[in-house]
A and B are shown apart, each in its own frame.
Chain A
């Protein structure tokens, strides 16, 4: 479903992704963690073409992102992206946020999109907030709308970039619960997060990144209890103490 082969990326002279090799299969849930600036966001932003790369290969759902003729828009319809800062459209209601792309990009009728959007907002626990504007919602509610917005395109892959790190602690779980149920339904997911509870519950693999490289790949249980590399031990001791 997602296949990195020897991928390298530079920001100017800064080498931010180094020889990335990684294959994510259909239905797999992969958690990415690592210290700030290690390239986690850049890694998952490559997957929907938000960031270009200079060397190597990346194939997502059959789309070859290195090729100049890649149909990025078609790829993006199949890949949902959830941002740390939600990025809801402030001039649209929750329901409009969710149905906008299905109507204009997928070409659904308004009635179809509304049905689908209502069902998804209900599913993320926001049946009573459909007509609210983003500024009338709490952070946790906004992020759940953002997840519903991505899901309404019926994507094959969902990417999450630190979806809970802008949230107050008491709101983290309402978002993680939605993500857990999504994972259990078989969605292919890559999630940048330091939420160990989430990783333990649903991740098939944890990837640890440091300075642009994948340093360690393990199943969550062994990663958290018995990290192999010096740097991941160091990182975990810092995160766990927080």
Chain B
């Protein structure tokens, strides 16, 4: 079947695929930047001791993890205009990706922090450090190191999830692939072209993960 791929059509649509690729890259980076910000805030709220500050973080994380991304997307897409908030589709898309991924990022960072032994915290407290100093100097540097792989995993999920934005007519990779299918009745050519582009993004992220872990080895440790 692959032998019968119409590569001429694929090449013809290369500029569109390239546009889709750039668009997906942009959606994913902004979406993930938003997710990191939201995730860090939600995580910070969920581990601090004041209950009424913890509650909104818990509700947010649970609500996102319990519902499908597609439902979240439609909820904002149809819900926001009802509240009188009219945003461009692409912005709604980025908000949904950030909100969705942010909840998972919060959980990843939280598990890293909870893995730090009580003794580390006590040593820091005993030396007179403030809460913020403990976080910045002792807890986060240790907690974040093992979260980098799961975070990159989450970024990979986000890249793939961004394809759902094609449903609210944001032009990105999946949408670009569908155009080949629709214009030329060649669904396989469209799918293969987009799959290759997603694969490229995947390897870019894996490369990043590799470089990071190479640079951040503890000296003297494999």
Contact residues of A between 115 and 161, Cβ < 8 Å to B: 132-133, 135-136, 149-150, 153
Q: Is the CB of B126 within 8 A of A76?
A: yes
Q: In whole angstroms, what is the CA distance A48 to B126 when docked?
A: 7
| B128 CB contact (under 8 Å) in A88, A105, A132 | A105
A83 engages B119 (CB within 8 Å): yes
**B27-35, B79-87, B135-143, B176-184 - the one binding chain A:** B135-143
Q: Does B218 contact A (CB under 8 A)?
A: yes
How many chain A residues have a CB neighbour from B under 8 Å? 27
Find chain A residues with CB under 8 A from B138 CB. Answer: 89
Contact of B130 among A50, A73, A81, A87 (CB under 8 A): A73
Q: Are A135 and B221 in contact (CB under 8 A)?
A: yes
What residues on B are CB-neighbors of A150 within 8 Å? 126-127
Known: A135-B220, A136-B220. Is A90-B142 also a contact (CB below 8 A)?
Answer: yes
Residues of B in contact, count (CB < 8 Å): 21
- How far is the CB of A72 from the nearest CB of chain B, in Å? 8
- Is B219 part of the binding interface, using a Cβ–Cβ cutoff of 8 Å? yes
Within 8 A of A (CB), among B120-137: 120, 122-123, 125-130, 133, 137
Q: How many A-B residue pairs have CB under 8 A?
A: 64
Task: Chain B residues near A16: list those with CB within 8 A.
Answer: none
6 further interface pairs, Cβ-Cβ under 8 Å (given A73-B129, A100-B127, A104-B133): A76-B128, A83-B122, A83-B123, A91-B145, A100-B137, A105-B128
* Residue in contact with A87 in the complex, picked from B120, B129, B133, CB distance below 8 Å: B120
Interfacial residues of chain A within 81-114, with CB under 8 A of chain B in the complex = 81, 83, 85, 87-91, 100-101, 104-105
Q: Shortest beta-carbon distance, A242 to chain B, in Å?
A: 26
